[in-house]
């Protein structure tokens, strides 16, 4: 095998890692032992998504009607085009945002799901001795740290997007994929008591798999109701990706620390 083919093979292998992690994540949430960790995040996500769709459809219908009232009569035919376009844009964008909010709200339960993934896939002896209340407080403190990071990155993306106007959609796509990957992969670092900076460093060292993983998550989170299952599956997949990026042997992860 020449150098070109070897390099291409290595690149393809690295880019398929997140795809395999996602497939494994969806398989894991179907297992009976994982179901008890799914109902809380799934129920919360279902309530948020259902509430958003209810208000969104009513708002879009009113907004579309008001827009059509402003147009001249000879453009009345455009309602058949404008309506579906507005619905699609608002629903896809809104569902992704609602899904991201749901991730933050149910974060204490997602940490437990990540722990179970570690135990099932790698036999990792990571113990969570905190009560549910203390675990929730710790998780939300972590989420505040990530939220500050998200806002900083989004602000930078906004400024760069304004400067490089034609490239703004690509910039937002990459930023969205990056932040989503950070959100799901960080659970494994948190379980080990590692700082948030550890996750950022790990992902910066592996930009290809990170962007592919985040892009898959963003695309799946934009699907109404299906994204309810995407959240727990992404947690499992992100935990697996964390381990793979650390080049862990199949059943021998590094010594895990107890969360304090």
pLDDT for 6 equals 41
pLDDT higher at 128 or 234: 234
pLDDT for 70 equals 67
Cβ neighbour number for residue 167 with a 10 Å cutoff: 12
> Which sequence spans correspond to the domains of the chain?
35-245
Residue-wise DSSP of 34-72: HHTTTHHHHHHHHHHHHHHHHHHHHHHHHHHHHHHHHS-
114: helix, coil or strand?
helix
pLDDT digits (tens, 9 = 90+) for 122-136: 886 665 555 556 666
List the structure tokens of 245.
Answer: 């990026």
Cβ atoms of residues 241 and 65 within 8 Å: no
pTM score, whole prediction: 0.73
Cβ neighbour number for residue 52 with a 10 Å cutoff: 20
pLDDT digits (tens, 9 = 90+) for 140-160: 788 788 888 888 988 898 898
* Number of residues that this document lists for the chain: 260
pLDDT digits (tens, 9 = 90+) for 91-133: 555 555 666 666 666 766 788 888 889 888 888 666 555 555 6
Q: Which pLDDT band holds residue 34 (cuts at 50, 70, 90)?
A: confident
Q: Rounded distance, CA 112 to CA 37, Å? A: 7
pLDDT digits (tens, 9 = 90+) for 189-229: 988 889 999 999 999 999 889 999 999 998 887 776 677 78
Place of tokens 């796509």: 173
Q: Rounded distance, CA 228 to CA 42, Å? A: 6
């Amino acid at each position: 095998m020449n150098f070109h083919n070897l390099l291409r093979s290595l690149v393809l292998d690295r880019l398929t890692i997140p795809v395999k992690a996602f497939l494994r994540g969806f398989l894991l949430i179907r297992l009976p032992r994982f179901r008890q960790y799914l109902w809380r995040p799934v129920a919360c996500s279902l309530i948020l998504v259902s509430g958003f769709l209810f208000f969104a459809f009513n708002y879009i219908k009113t907004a579309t009607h008001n827009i059509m009232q402003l147009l001249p009569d000879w453009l009345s035919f455009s309602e058949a085009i404008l309506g579906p376009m507005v619905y699609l844009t608002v629903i896809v964008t809104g569902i992704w945002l609602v899904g991201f909010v749901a991730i933050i709200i149910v974060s204490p339960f997602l940490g437990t799901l990540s722990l179970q993934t570690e135990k099932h896939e790698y036999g990792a002896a990571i113990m969570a001795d905190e009560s549910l209340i203390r675990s929730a407080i710790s998780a939300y403190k972590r989420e505040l740290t990530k939220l500050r990071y998200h806002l900083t990155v989004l602000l930078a993306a906004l400024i760069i997007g304004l400067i490089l106007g034609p490239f703004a959609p690509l910039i937002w796509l990459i930023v969205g994929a990056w932040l989503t990957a950070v959100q799901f992969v960080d659970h494994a670092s948190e379980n080990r008591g590692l700082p948030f900076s550890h996750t950022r460093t790990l992902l910066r060292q592996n930009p290809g798999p990170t962007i592919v993983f985040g892009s898959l998550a963003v695309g799946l989170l934009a699907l109404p109701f299906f994204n309810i299952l995407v959240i727990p599956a992404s947690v499992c997949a992100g935990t697996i990706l964390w381990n793979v990026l650390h080049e862990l042997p199949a059943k021998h992860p590094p010594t895990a620390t107890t969360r304090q």
